[in-house]
Amino acid sequence: MHGLFGSKQNNRTISKALARDLNRPVYAVDLRNHGDSPHHKRHDYVAMAEDVEHFLVDKKLGPETTLLGHSMGAKAAMAVSLRSPSLVRDLVIVDNAPVSSILHSSFGTYIRAMRQIEELQLKKQSEADKILSEYEPNLGIRQFLLTNLTREEGSPYLKFRVPIKILGSALDEIGDFPFTLEKDRFEGRALFVRGTKSHYVPDEHIPTIGRFFPLFRLKDIDAGHWVISEKPIEFKEAVVEFLQNSE
């Protein structure tokens, strides 16, 4: 499960590598309001968890399922495990923690930039990148955001396939984690992978992780928040080792 503004396409390469090395099927999904999934005005972790639970039941994936999620997708995976532990065997959580926090201001900045791009009715991706560069200097992040640009049939203008207004209104919910230590625990195994150059999982969150997920393991990788794309080999090896050594 991808993060905010992502899609299943972001995880195609790592999914193929994990399917090969683990010899098991891997499903990459689009969370609601992303990729090819439907748009809905409600965008929170309970709703996303319900969607994933429906997918697991519909595909008859059963209790041997591993959920792997990055950032927003990580919280969605944790939400499923706490709501419906019978559907999940173990977790791989990438650079996020079971805490409520305010999203980095950059996400609100991206929303403003994307709104401006749509309002200008641009026809070329290079024009959109020029606008976005005024808000985000990092070319890799701009290219990631621009993967959402599309052109609707019959229109010459570029438009984002993610619903900008809905996601802009849901930034507080995306930073939230609507579960309580008093009653919510997942007793299965969990691997928490964090980027050492990222601020999403500071040391002070580790005790909280342990209370929600008492059988967790922590793996540090020398990367920023985009752990999978920055260090794909190290990430894949960590996941394969965790899942092959299930004792």
Give yes or no for a contact between 213 and 98, defined as CB atoms under 8 angstroms apart: yes
Look at residues 169, 189, 222 and tell me which one is the last residue of a structural domain.
Answer: 169
Nearest to 228 by CA among 5, 4, 15: 15
Q: What is the mean pLDDT of each run of 10 residues along the chain (247 residues)?
A: 96 96 97 97 98 97 94 98 96 97 86 95 95 93 93 90 96 94 91 96 96 97 94 97 83
**12 plus 96 within the same structural domain:** yes
Given the residues 7, 71, 81, 198, select the one marked as catalytic: 71
Active site residue 34: no
Tokens of 190: 């969990």
- Find the domain containing 204 and state its range: 8-100+181-244
43 falls within a domain: yes
Considering the entire predicted model, what is its pTM?
0.94
Distance (Å, rounded) from C-alpha 110 to C-alpha 102? 15
Question: Looking at residue 12, which CATH number applies to its domain?
Answer: 3.40.50.1820
Active site residue 126: no
**119 plus 222 within the same structural domain:** no
218: Cβ contacts below 8 Å, ≥ 6 apart:
192, 194, 206, 209
What local confidence, expressed as pLDDT, does residue 134 receive? 95
Q: Based on the structure, what is the number of domains in the chain?
A: 2
Nearest to 218 by CA among 230, 231, 208: 208
